[in-house]
Chains A and B, each alone.
Chain A
Amino acid sequence: MSGVHIIAIVAAVATIAVIVELSRRRQLREKYALIWLASGAVMAVFAISPGLFNDLAHSIGVKNPPDLLAVMACLFLLMVCVQFSWEMGRLQDRTRLLAEEVALLRNEMQQMRAGAEGRVGTLSPARVEDPSA
């Protein structure tokens, strides 16, 4: 077993350990834990038996197996990033909605305290279209 395989095994085990510990402390939501545990498991499998990965690469016509590894890793990370951007956008939309709601409610409250003169409305709960829904 060469040095690089030992490093790969250690990295895979460390990834799984960190993810397990984070979910145990409830620092990581289940759906993210799942992605990273799965990728940790895949890493572990190929680290333990590199032959498996080489066979896979050759079977789909890749001459140099590390190329396949690099391409797969890049694609996976790209997918994860896109997913995160999408989720971040949705969170920003929701944060904005909450901020607007807070502003209006605070105003409403001040008006009520001040004795509610003039044109007081009933503020309906937020019914704003969620563009990501």
Chain B
Amino acid sequence: MLTNEDVLVVVPAFNEAMSVAGVVKEVAQAAPRAHILVVDDGSTDATAAAARDAGAEVVTNVFNLGVGGAMRVGFRYAAARHFRVVVQVDGDGQHDPRDLARLVDALEDKPHPEVVIGARFAGEGDYEVPVMRRWAMRLLARYLSGVAHVKLTDVTSGFRAHNRAAIDLFARTYPADYLADTVESLVIAVENGGVISQVPVSMRSRTGGAPSQNTGRAAMYLARVSLMLLIALFRHRAPRSTEEAA
């Protein structure tokens, strides 16, 4: 059984000074013995100070690397300190830390990489997204359900738990490209014998910051998702085993 001391909660935050302190406090309440690491991804506001004041440890990226870069910092931190679980919670407050324990409980602490996704469409909460973005998300979900051989409904969710093997894998391979951090990371996990599962979680509206979605962007998002899936079809599948890189 995993205890909270083994859990590192990684909060990637880019200009989330308004919300990050609240997230840290809620996480601390939900999982009092977990270690909280806020990865300040080159913020230009007071994100780092707010997080530190709220009691989190803060690692600051020199410049903005995107969620993928922030998360790899978190995974490498966790791997170096032998944490057994990494839970990603976004810094904008859209995830409810009270669901954190259910995500961690869904990990079985197996020797292969495990990723548990907190899925927003799986019935809980009232989560609304623009139509084109929803198409893109469905397309991705369908594709990844095929790859992972399990029904996944929300593969772009940034609320996830990872076991030790997934931490070690992602400390080396977590992708940084747009979208890749959420979607391609799952593909990488599966290619390395990993198992993906999902747990329904409720989603709240953001407590701070501006949502990054309008019609033009959503259309662009759909186009990029389609292109990415097309490339994925033809991609060279290099074996990326743990032994190989060791």
Contacts and interface: CB of A to CB of B under 8 A. Distances in A.
Interface string A104-130: 101100000000001111111001110
A102 interface: yes
A63 interface: no
- Can you list the 10 inter-chain pairs with the closest CB atoms, starting with the nearest? A121-B81, A121-B80, A107-B59, A123-B80, A103-B61, A100-B73, A103-B59, A119-B81, A99-B62, A128-B172
Given A127-B172, A128-B173, A129-B172, A100 B76 contact: yes
Contacts of B62: 99, 102-103
Contact of B61 (A99, A123, A129): A99
Contacts of B57: 107
Contact of B80 (A93, A96, A103, A122): A122
Given A103-B73, A104-B73, A96 B65 contact: yes
Nearest to B42: A99
Contact of B60 (A93, A103, A124, A128): A103
Q: At the interface, is chain B mostly helix, strand, loop or mixed?
A: mixed
Contacts of A128: 72, 171-173
Interface of A: 93, 96, 99-100, 102-104, 106-107, 118-124, 127-129
Contacts of B80: 104, 121-124
Contacts of A120: 81
For the side of the interface on B, what is the size category?
A: 20 to 34
Given A103-B62, A118-B35, A129-B240, 12 more contacts: A99-B62, A100-B65, A100-B72, A103-B73, A107-B60, A119-B81, A121-B82, A122-B80, A123-B76, A127-B245, A129-B173, A129-B245
Contacts of A102: 62
B65 to A, nearest CB: 6
Interface in B24-53: 35, 39
B35 A119 contact: yes
A126 to B, nearest CB: 8
Interface in B80-99: 80-82
B49 to A, nearest CB: 14
22 contacts: A96-B176, A99-B61, A99-B62, A99-B63, A99-B69, A100-B65, A100-B69, A103-B39, A103-B59, A103-B60, A103-B62, A104-B59, A104-B76, A104-B77, A106-B59, A106-B60, A118-B35, A121-B82, A127-B172, A127-B245, A128-B173, A129-B172
